[in-house]
């Protein structure tokens, strides 16, 4: 059985955990992590989630296991879902969103990942491919892109644009 750490509204660990399929109790938060991976052509590595998940397109992510911090959890998710051992120092925390009993850390990496190096976790991932911004938009408009992942993606792009403007 997989467990998740519970946090308070200020992101402090409470020392309490819940089972993976348990509802988050009132007044507590769980942590999720996602990563948007962009290559040198400006395309993003996206994954079509397995039918068991929902069959929609989205990005790599999930819930850190009990005892894992955010960065370690993101590293674990990439390794589990895609079979890639990314150097943690390459993962950049772009922003944190907090809403509805969830704290979400959004990571970004700019790296040319060869799709042939990917080993998909079949229970989670059905397909991977690089998509342009227009293709992601089209998948979202047609209902084929997970809504929450699309909103996190838009937030990631906004934060990246802000960082570019500050340079």
For 141, the 3-state DSSP assignment is helix
| Token pair for 145 | 């892109």
- The per-residue pLDDT for 100 is 87
pLDDT class of 145 with cuts at 50, 70, 90: very high
Mean pLDDT (the chain, rounded): 95
Which percentage of the chain shows pLDDT scores above 90? Answer: 92
pLDDT class of 164 with cuts at 50, 70, 90: low
**pLDDT tens-digit profile of 76-98?**
999 999 999 999 999 999 999 99
Cβ atoms of residues 32 and 63 within 8 Å: yes
Calpha distance 24→89 (Å, rounded)? 31
This prediction has a pTM of 0.94
CB atoms within 10 A of CB 19: 10
- The per-residue pLDDT for 21 is 87
pLDDT greater than 80 at residue 159: yes
Which class is 3-166 in CATH?
A: alpha beta
| Higher pLDDT, residue 43 or 164 | 43
pLDDT greater than 80 at residue 163: no
The mean per-residue pLDDT over the stretch 53-73 comes to 95
- The per-residue pLDDT for 2 is 86
């Amino acid at each position: 059985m997989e467990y998740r750490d519970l946090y308070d509204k200020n992101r402090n660990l409470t020392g309490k955990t819940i089972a993976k399929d348990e509802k988050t109790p009132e007044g507590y938060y769980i942590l999720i992590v996602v990563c948007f991976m962009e290559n040198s052509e400006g395309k993003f590595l996206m994954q079509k989630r397995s039918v068991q998940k929902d069959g929609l397109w989205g990005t790599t992510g999930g819930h850190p296991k009990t005892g894992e911090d955010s960065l370690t959890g993101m590293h674990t998710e990439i390794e589990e879902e895609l079979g890639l051992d990314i150097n943690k120092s390459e993962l950049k925390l772009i922003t944190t969103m907090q809403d509805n009993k969830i704290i979400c850390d959004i990571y970004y990496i700019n790296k040319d990942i060869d799709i042939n190096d990917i080993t998909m976790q079949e229970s989670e991932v059905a397909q991977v491919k690089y998509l342009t911004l227009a293709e992601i938009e089209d998948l979202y408009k047609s209902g084929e892109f997970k809504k929450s992942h699309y909103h996190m993606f838009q937030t990631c792009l906004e934060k990246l644009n802000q960082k570019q403007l500050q340079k």
